[in-house]
Amino acid sequence: MFRIRTHNRIAERGLEQFPRDFYAVGPEVEEPDALLLRSHRLHDEALPDSVVAVARAGAGVNNIPVDDYSRRGIVVFNTPGANANAVKELVAAGLFLGSRDIVGGFNFVQSLKNIDQPNELAKVLEAEKKRFSGTEVAGKTLGVVGLGAIGSLVANMALELGMRVAGYDPAISVEAAWRLSSRVEKMDSLEALLSASDFVSLHVPAIEQTRHLINAETLARLRSGARLLNFAREEIVDAGAVTAALDSGHLGAYVTDFPLPGLLGRDNVIVLPHIGASTREAEENCSVMAVQQLMDFLQHGNIRNSVNFPATRMARDGAFRITFSNDNVPRVLGSVLSVLADSNLNVLDMVNRSRGDLAYNIIDVETAPESGVLKAIAGVEGVIRVRTV
């Protein structure tokens, strides 16, 4: 029986893939083998010793202490691209919310609910509508910072709206580069992108290197009146610097999915309650992908879409399987193979992959390994965690 503890609302379409005869799943599950969550924050929360994997049904993993878990051999998964279209569509809305006073106009019309004569209503609307005029996005330049799963879709979408698009991503993946239209102008630096853009949309992960990427200095590079969209994460933007730039008029508007008290109640700030990925389709995609990855890992030891361990997969034909993670240093694999040889276990197949400081191994053996063998493997210097699956 595998035990999965869930946090947040995980779409049923994924959860129903767990065969219930050998999976216990739910928020109250004790001694879980794995956690399945969305934005639930795991920093400062004790992790049960039983956990071997954490699956994030979504893209960002800044709610998970990945470095700490890596040292403990806990495999962290995410679901790359599964919610990208949902975010792209909300960014499209964000562009229009930032360029036309849709929110002001909507609130104004709502405030007229006590006028019951159509003629009188029409008169007030005609007299006041000039207060809510805006600009068009067509012909303007959108700068996209981060051209991964979401940024590349946003860039291509903006071209379809008739915008010019500039992109900046010093570590763009081959896959994202293939997706990107050749009409997107590649910028050499963030500063160059900011000074060329009327709108800027952020699509980078929240990591140490991107904390306050947008600050007083970088905001100063923006064209006067430019609009900033942040559907990535709160910490990428220095909110104090943004409010100062809004107050001075240098920044025309801030549209974000990440509310903070100082941002609320301002005319030129549009704040949404982190709903970028809140569509039925995205929630289902993320849930299905996360569940499939977890099951493949728990039942077969295969790793796909992990943010800390190397992708590792080996076909299975009924053999007994041992998996182990280790520090990526010489002699660990050799010592483990010696343990197997000393125990008369015949190796049928094996795979060894590394990523940075970590390595992961799948070894199929002909006969069932006894618990003493697993203990001996765990005792090899550099081995982090051992399982039989």
Ligand X SMILES: NC(=O)C1=CN([C@@H]2O[C@H](COP(=O)(O)OP(=O)(O)OC[C@H]3O[C@@H](n4cnc5c(N)ncnc54)[C@H](O)[C@@H]3O)[C@@H](O)[C@H]2O)C=CC1
Ligand Y SMILES: O=C(O)CCC(=O)C(=O)O
Question: Site residues (CB under 6 A) for ligand X?
Answer: 58-60, 80, 83-84, 87, 145-151, 168-173, 176, 203-206, 209-210, 231-233, 257, 274, 276-277
Residue 203 tokens read as: 């699509």
* Residue 59 binding ligand Y, by CB under 6 A: yes
Residue 357 Cβ vs ligand Y, minimum distance, rounded to whole Å: 25
- Judged by CB under 6 A, the chain residues 13 through 52 that form the site for ligand Y are 38-39
Residue closer to ligand Y, measured from CB, 286 or 373: 286
172 closest CA partner among 202, 152, 194, 196: 152
- Judge whether 192 and 213 are in contact, CB under 8 Å: no
Q: Which of 176/226 has CB closer to ligand X?
A: 176
Closest by Cα among 284, 261, 308, 381 to 67 = 308
Look at strands 383-388 and 320-327 and give their pairing.
antiparallel
Q: Which does 38 bind (CB under 5 to 8 A by kind): ligand Y, ligand X, none?
A: ligand Y
Please, which of residues 255-294 interact with ligand Y by CB under 6 A?
A: 276-278
- Site for ligand Y (CB under 6 A): which residue of 32, 60, 94, 369? 60
Per partner kind, with CB cut-offs from 5 to 8 A, the member of ligand X, ligand Y, none near residue 150 is ligand X
**Shortest reach from residue 339's CB to ligand Y, in Å:** 41
Residue 148 beta carbon to ligand X: minimum distance, rounded to whole angstroms: 2
Name the strand (E) or helix (H) holding 340. Answer: helix 332-342
Q: Which residue is nearest to ligand X (CB)?
A: 148
Rounded to whole angstroms, how far apart are CA atoms 236 and 248? 21
In this structure, what token pair is assigned to residue 368? 């069932």
Nearer to ligand Y, 58 or 65 (CB): 58
Distance separating alpha carbons of residues 210 and 195, to the nearest angstrom: 19
Q: Which is nearer to ligand Y, 58 or 143 (CB)?
A: 58
> How many residues lie near ligand Y (CB under 6 A)?
9
CA distance 17 to 14: 6
The least distance separating ligand X from the CB of residue 90, rounded to whole angstroms, comes to 7
What b/e string do you get for 201-233 counting C-beta neighbours within 10 Å, with b at 16 or more?
bbbbbbeeebeebbeeebbebbbeebbbbbbbb
Choose between 198 and 257: whose C-beta lies nearer to ligand Y. 257
CB nearer ligand Y, residue 277 or residue 383:
277
Q: CB 277 → ligand Y: shortest distance, Å? A: 4
Who contacts 169 (Cβ-Cβ below 8 Å, separation ≥6)?
Answer: 145, 146, 147, 148, 151, 176
Task: Give the DSSP H or E segment for 229.
Answer: strand 226-230
Stretch near ligand Y under the rule CB under 6 A, chosen from 56-64, 114-122, 263-271, 336-344: 56-64
230, 255 in Cβ contact below 8 A? yes
From ligand X, ligand Y, none, which one binds at residue 268 (CB under 5 to 8 Å depending on kind)?
none
C-beta of 59 vs 222, nearer to ligand Y: 59
Query: What residue type is 255 in one-letter code?
Result: V
One character per residue 66-105, x = contact with ligand Y (rule: CB under 6 A): -----------------x----------------------
For position 203 contacting ligand Y by CB under 6 A, the verdict is: no
Report in angstroms how near the CB of residue 206 gets to ligand Y at its nearest: 9
Please enumerate in sequence order all residues whose Cβ is within 8 A of that of 59, keeping only pairs 6 or more positions apart, or say none. Answer: 78, 79, 80, 81, 82, 83, 84, 149, 150, 205, 277
Per partner kind, with CB cut-offs from 5 to 8 A, the member of ligand Y, ligand X, none near residue 176 is ligand X
By C-beta, is 87 or 345 nearer to ligand Y? 87
Task: Retrieve residue 149's tokens.
Answer: 């799963």
- Residues in contact with ligand Y by CB under 6 A are 38-39, 58-60, 83, 276-278
